[in-house]
């Protein structure tokens, strides 16, 4: 590929459901590669399956990408490209690279079982290629519609340099000619994807390693259509925290993460580095992640996705978020000072509401008997502080330390409990001004 060629990537989900974490990772890495190289990132909706595709899923995919910050440069839909598929399909039929076959699923399954029983690979025997014109006419007269297969060139070894897996080699003689079109005329995945990649000028395809055998067949399709194939990068699949492929990963998507209070920046930070030699870091800005993105850093071992790790990253990112980024999601009345005081003690933005309730009250706290007199003195001391806007916490505790001789835990813990109803929480120096003089005195006297 010429170094001057503009990079074009694509994310091509089927709108048969919501995006899950594996889809998100694929979209992210295609977007990051386009961003790093100044290229173009396409969203292609692979909606050739009319029965299973749903418009609400299309809308959800778009919304999820926006939420994650993955802006697309353009969008295509396969359902609007059938005329192009027909033209290229006719070319392949005319050249003999696509041919009709008539076996039923039951007949094909029987053939596979016989081959396996003989210890042979279950490869399609190309019986359809031996049919005569009279056979084709008879079958069609009987109402048997053919499905269509792409004829692999068995004498042309399939090789490519995968950007992650390294040199790859397949022997087409060990592969079945793939079905590219069903008997009802509907399209399977392989051929329309190739036609689209050619037409859209896709230069790089980043996807899971479960597509490696598809790539082997598609490379011959690119050649048969007279096109240079894109570069391929096949990523190791994600595993669950239990260390094996997890069905749960298929249910973890943007909607789940939003409901759990996970920030999109946390998902990007984790999935950008997961499976690479670089450490996962709580980076709120994707720029450094994009700058260091390199296929050479990806390993071939399965990458472990752990929700607990995501939660930890999320908390560290929340601690970085400025008030302007979260203001719309904070409880009524909470200002920048409130957010800055509470921010270090929350793992999600939603938790700020719990601490704001502590600020506004009421709080329930029953003091220890030995602390009742101390807290009454604290209330009087608080009332005597002239300027409540200048560090009332240290003024209060400094005066009480001098008058009572208390220090450390015996000084601070009874005050925190009375003022917040909690043993732990935000820095009291930041929290007390938010509680205010009147509420503080009321709580100390309760």
Our count of domains for the chain comes to: 4
Q: Are 410 and 371 in contact (CB under 8 A)?
A: no
3-class state of residue 87 by DSSP? helix
In a domain, 188, yes or no: no
Residues within the annotated binding site? 247
Q: Are 427 and 341 in contact (CB under 8 A)?
A: yes
Q: Are 170 and 213 in contact (CB under 8 A)?
A: yes
- pLDDT at position 243, please? 59
User: If residue 354 lies in a helix (H) or strand (E), which one and from where to where?
Assistant: helix 352-360
3-class state of residue 116 by DSSP? helix
Here the CATH number for the domain that contains residue 157 is 3.90.800.10
In a domain, 227, yes or no: no
What is the pTM (predicted TM-score) of this model? 0.89
Do residues 109 and 174 share a domain? yes
Per-residue tokens: 142: 């009987």
Domain extent, residue 255, equals 1-80+236-320
**Rounded Cα gap, residues 260 and 281, in angstroms:** 20
In a domain, 141, yes or no: yes
From 338, 360, 382, give the residue that closes a domain: 360
- pLDDT at position 81, please? 96
Do residues 307 and 334 share a domain? no
Residues contacting 379, CB < 8 A, separation 6+? 441, 444, 445
The number of CA neighbours under 13 Å toward the Cβ of 15 is 24
Please state the separation of Cα 194 from the chain's center in Å: 24
Angle (nearest 5°) at CA 370 between 369 and 372: 65
In a domain, 241, yes or no: yes
- pLDDT at position 2, please? 47
Q: Are 233 and 204 in contact (CB under 8 A)?
A: yes
Instruction: Please report, in tens digits, the pLDDT of each residue of the chain (446 residues total).
Output: 444 679 999 999 999 888 999 999 999 999 999 999 999 999 999 999 888 889 999 999 999 999 999 999 999 999 999 999 999 999 999 999 999 999 999 999 999 999 999 988 899 999 999 999 999 999 999 999 999 999 999 999 999 999 999 999 999 999 999 999 999 999 999 999 999 999 999 999 999 999 999 999 999 999 999 999 999 999 999 988 765 555 567 778 889 999 999 999 999 999 999 999 999 999 999 999 999 999 999 999 988 999 999 999 999 999 999 999 999 999 999 999 999 999 999 999 999 999 999 999 899 888 999 999 999 999 999 999 988 888 999 999 999 999 999 999 999 999 999 999 999 999 999 999 999 999 999 999 98
Do residues 300 and 332 share a domain? no
Here the CATH number for the domain that contains residue 24 is 3.40.50.620
Q: State whether the Cα torsion 309-311-316-320 is positive or negative.
A: positive
Residues within the annotated binding site for ATP? 247
Q: Output b/e per residue, 313-329; b: 16+ Cβ within 10 A.
A: bbbbbbeebeeeebeee
Do residues 302 and 242 share a domain? yes
Per-residue tokens: 291: 């700058």
When computed from its CA atoms, the radius of gyration of the chain, rounded to whole angstroms, is 32
């Amino acid at each position: 590929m010429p170094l001057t060629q503009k990079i074009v990537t694509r994310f091509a989900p089927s709108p048969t459901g919501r995006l899950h974490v594996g889809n998100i990772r694929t979209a992210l890495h295609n977007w990051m590669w386009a961003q790093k190289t100044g290229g173009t990132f396409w969203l292609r909706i692979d909606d050739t399956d009319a029965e299973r595709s749903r418009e609400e899923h299309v809308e959800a995919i778009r919304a999820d990408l926006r939420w994650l910050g993955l802006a697309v440069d353009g969008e295509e839909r396969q359902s609007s490209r059938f005329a192009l598929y027909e033209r290229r399909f006719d070319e392949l039929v005319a050249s003999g690279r696509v041919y009709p076959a008539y076996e039923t699923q039951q007949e094909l399954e029987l053939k596979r079982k016989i081959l396996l029983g003989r210890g042979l690979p279950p490869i399609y025997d190309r019986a359809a290629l031996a049919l005569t014109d009279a056979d084709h006419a008879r079958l069609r007269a009987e109402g048997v519609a053919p499905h269509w297969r792409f004829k692999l060139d068995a004498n042309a070894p399939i090789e490519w340099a995968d950007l992650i897996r390294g040199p790859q080699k397949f022997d087409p003689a060990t592969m079945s000619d793939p079905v590219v079109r069903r008997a009802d005329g509907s399209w399977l995945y392989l051929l329309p994807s190739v036609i689209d990649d050619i037409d859209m000028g896709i230069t790089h395809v980043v996807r899971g390693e479960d597509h490696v055998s598809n790539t082997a067949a598609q490379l011959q399709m690119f050649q048969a259509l007279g096109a240079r194939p894109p570069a391929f990068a096949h990523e190791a699949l994600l595993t669950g925290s239990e260390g094996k492929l997890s069905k749960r990963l298929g249910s973890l998507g943007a909607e789940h993460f939003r409901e759990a209070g996970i920030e999109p920046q946390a998902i990007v930070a984790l999935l950008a580095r997961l499976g690479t030699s670089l450490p996962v870091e709580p980076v709120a800005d994707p720029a450094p992640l994009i700058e260091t993105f390199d296929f050479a850093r990806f390993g071939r071992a399965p990458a472990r996705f752990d929700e607990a790790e995501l939660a930890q990253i999320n908390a560290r990112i929340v601690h970085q978020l400025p008030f302007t980024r979260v203001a719309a999601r904070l409880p009524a009345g909470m200002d920048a000072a409130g957010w800055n005081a509470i921010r270090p003690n929350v793992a999600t933005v939603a938790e700020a509401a719990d601490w704001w309730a502590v600020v506004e009250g009421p709080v329930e706290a029953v003091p220890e008997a030995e602390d009742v007199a101390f807290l009454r003195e604290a209330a009087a001391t608080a009332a005597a502080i002239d300027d409540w806007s200048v560090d009332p916490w240290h003024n209060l505790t400094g005066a009480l330390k001098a008058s009572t001789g208390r220090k450390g835990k015996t000084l601070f813990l009874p005050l925190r409990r009375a003022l917040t109803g909690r043993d732990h929480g935000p820095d009291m120096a930041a929290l007390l001004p938010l509680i205010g003089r009147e509420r503080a005195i009321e709580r100390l006297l309760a």
